[in-house]
Amino acid sequence: MFWQIDLLISTLVIICGIGALTVKDLLGAGILFGAYSFMMCLLWAVMGAVDVAFTEASVGAGVSTVFFIAAVFRTSRETKD
Amino acid sequence: MKSIALTVVLILGCLLVYVAQEFPGFGDPGAPANVHVSPFYIENAMRDTAVPNMVTAILADYRGFDTLFETSVIFTAGLACFFLLRVIRRRAPESRLYRHIPTDLTIRIEKGGRLPASSAEFQRIDSVWVPYDLIIHMTGRLIVPFIQLFALYVIAHGHYSPGGGFQGGVILGAAVILFALCNNLRMTVRRFSERTNALLCSLGVIIYAGTGVMCMLLGSNFLDYGALAGLLGVDRIMARSHGIMMVEIGVAIAVNAVMVWIYYNLSSVGRQDEGL
Amino acid sequence: MDALLSFVIAKYNYWVVVLLIMIGLYAMIAKNNLVKKIIGMNIFQTAIILFYISIGAKKGATIPITFGEHGPPVAAADFINPLPHVLMLTAIVVSVATLGVALALALKVFRQYGTLEEDDIHSQIRKE
């Protein structure tokens, strides 16, 4: 049961990671980064690290995404690469 | 530049794959990481500290030095953001925007102008303004107290379930950030000022280090919570459990204040008048 | 064939980690935009944390929270290794601290040069 979940969530993690680096809109990159953090949190929860998953959910998918979006709001939103 | 980066990354990838042959398989109980010190922690954490959550017991008691310096690292990050970005604005802005609360009109006052006589009905808004939304305002008012209550629950139940000081502190900071997102940054700074933030994050580090120093003053080593047994009136095992609780509270206060402080400095680029 | 299969399939967590390390390092070196570089730094950090967590996992074991004073006696093979989890909690804290300072530096660069693209900044510096 578990290696299927691991494989599925790992595929989503890699797709979100590559997506966050490839989109041309920095706001979209910030949101995809939040999704990447949340998928990592799920992966760690499946591997049994519940404390670390809790911390990553609150820090990565919460506060870290807000910091990124605040920084993008104060600088420019589009980028060439 | 990109081709150099690609070659470097591919060489590193091949090196890592070659080294991964020596690693133990996934989920092997006989791996070297699972054999040397951690069986001692797993078997003795409940017996020595009366805390069922092993991760909290190791984090705050067996490896308490690491957590003390982690708290000072997050405090230093808050200080660094403050020193990098903060500008104390002396000049008034060129034009200010106000919203008339009864009729929902927006007026703009240029430089040198003054506010009209009935200024209690006017509310200052940001220069990147969005229309006032009642739903966001009321939802924020309803949700923020419950988020703070949940954060206190997470801190207090760090002994028995996943959670602890750091997670609860981040959730408390997130509640204040949610308040700042639903309303103005100016209103949030008025309620939870920068001076309070700075004092709270130093207070958190002082609580943690002070617990250690108190153990030293009572005759034992630094951060050896068993020495608090005489002071608290319980036996040595429960004294360690209470010592863990005290340092978790210190970590939560420090982390809460630092998250809010970094948000204030990042979202307003140091000026702290208009935010996200 | 059998050894190759066990090499690839039994250690699949390490391949995910290696792939994420390569993505993160490539983003930190090759991307032009400063915010994308910072995202690459964070991907690298979370990949390292995944590596440590996957080392501590054990087959057929439960999460590292015991049952209290009235539960059964604790055997080391029944619980997932809690020591990497503790170390990685500190790593997550350090990563958010580094993220805050990195974004503050990016905002200061934007205030000075008006852009976040690395080649524009280099050409502005060369003109001075």
A79 contacts C33? CB cut-off 8 A: yes
- ipTM of the predicted assembly exceeds 0.90: yes
Of the residues B38, B66, B264, the best mutation for testing chain C's interface (the one with the most C CB atoms within 10 Å of its CB) is B38
Asked whether B109 and B98 are in contact (CB, 8 A), the reply is yes
Question: Is the pLDDT score of A13 beyond 80?
Answer: yes
Distance from CA of B170 to the nearest CA of A (A): 7
Q: List strands edge to edge, sheet with B96-100.
A: B105-109, B96-100, B122-125
- CB contacts, 8 Å: A5 with chain C: none
Asked which of B42-51, B64-73, C80-89 is least confident by mean pLDDT, the reply is B42-51
Rounded-to-integer distance, Cα B273 and Cα B96, Å:
12
Distance from CA of A81 to the nearest CA of C (A): 7
Say what the pLDDT of residue B119 is: 67
Asked if B178 has any chain A CB less than 8 Å from its own CB, the reply is no
Asked which of A33-47, B75-89, B98-112 is least confident by mean pLDDT, the reply is B98-112
Q: Among residues C81, C50, C93, C54, which one has the least CA distance to residue B55?
A: C81
Closest alpha carbon within chain B to C10? B25
Say what the pLDDT of residue A65 is: 95
Going by the DSSP 8-state scheme, the letter that residue C77 receives in this structure is: G
Rounded-to-integer distance, Cα C21 and Cα B95, Å:
49
**Residue that wins the pLDDT comparison between B108 and B146:** B146
What residue segments make up the domains of chain C, in order of their start?
2-127
Interface A–C counts its CB contacts (< 8 A) at: 121
B contact chains, 3+ CB pairs < 8 A: A, C
Say what the pLDDT of residue B126 is: 72
Helix (H) or strand (E) holding A56, with range, is helix A50-58
Residue C63's pLDDT band, with cuts at 50, 70 and 90, is confident
Rounded-to-integer distance, Cα B128 and Cα B157, Å:
42
Closest alpha carbon within chain A to B166? A55
Say what the pLDDT of residue B229 is: 84
Rounded-to-integer distance, Cα B51 and Cα B175, Å:
28
Q: Among residues B265, A75, A81, A67, which one has the least CA distance to residue C115?
A: A75
- CB contacts, 8 Å: A69 with chain C: none
CATH 3.40.640.10 fits C2-127, yes or no: no
Distance from CA of B267 to the nearest CA of A (A): 5
Q: What is the mean pLDDT of residues C38-62?
A: 91
Distance from CA of C1 to the nearest CA of B (A): 15
Structural domain includes residue A80: no
A29 contacts C16? CB cut-off 8 A: no
DSSP string of chain B? -HHHHHHHHHHHHHHHHHHGGGSPPTT-TTSGGGTSSHHHHHHHHHHHH--SBHHHHIIIIITHHHHHHHHHHHHHHHHHHHHHH-----SPPS-EEEEETTTTEEEEE-TT----S-GGGEEEE-SS-----HHHHHHHHHHHHHHHHHHHHHHHTTTTSS--HHHHHHHHHHHHHHHHHHS-HHHHHHHS-HHHHHHHHHHHHHHHHHHHHHHHHTTS-TT-GGGGHHHHTS-HHHHHHHHHHHHHHHHHHHHHHHHHHHHHHHHTTT--SS--
Asked whether B56 and C77 are in contact (CB, 8 A), the reply is no
Residue B129's pLDDT band, with cuts at 50, 70 and 90, is low
Each residue's pLDDT tens digit, B69-97 = 999 999 999 999 999 988 887 666 777 77
Each residue's pLDDT tens digit, B1-39 = 789 999 999 999 999 989 888 888 887 777 788 888 888
Q: What is the mean pLDDT of residues C68-76?
A: 72
**Residue that wins the pLDDT comparison between B27 and A18:** A18
* B42 vs C21, C79, C108: nearest CB: C79
Q: Is the dihedral of CA B87, B92, B96, B99 positive or negative?
A: positive
Structural domain includes residue A81: no
Each residue's pLDDT tens digit, A58-72 = 999 999 999 999 999
Asked which of B55-59, B71-75, B145-149, B232-236 is least confident by mean pLDDT, the reply is B232-236
**Residue that wins the pLDDT comparison between B105 and B268:** B268
Range of the domain at A32: 2-74
Distance from CA of A48 to the nearest CA of C (A): 5
* A81 vs C32, C46, C61: nearest CB: C32
Percent above pLDDT 70 for chain A: 99
Asked whether C86 and B38 are in contact (CB, 8 A), the reply is no
**Residue that wins the pLDDT comparison between C3 and B2:** B2
Percent above pLDDT 70 for chain B: 94
Say what the pLDDT of residue A29 is: 94
Structural domain includes residue A61: yes
Residue B186: CB atoms within 10 Å: 17
Asked if A17 has any chain B CB less than 8 Å from its own CB, the reply is no
- CB contacts, 8 Å: C75 with chain B: 43
Q: How many domains is chain A built from?
A: 1
Question: Is the pLDDT score of B225 beyond 90?
Answer: no
Joined together, the tokens standing for residue C5 give: 């299969």
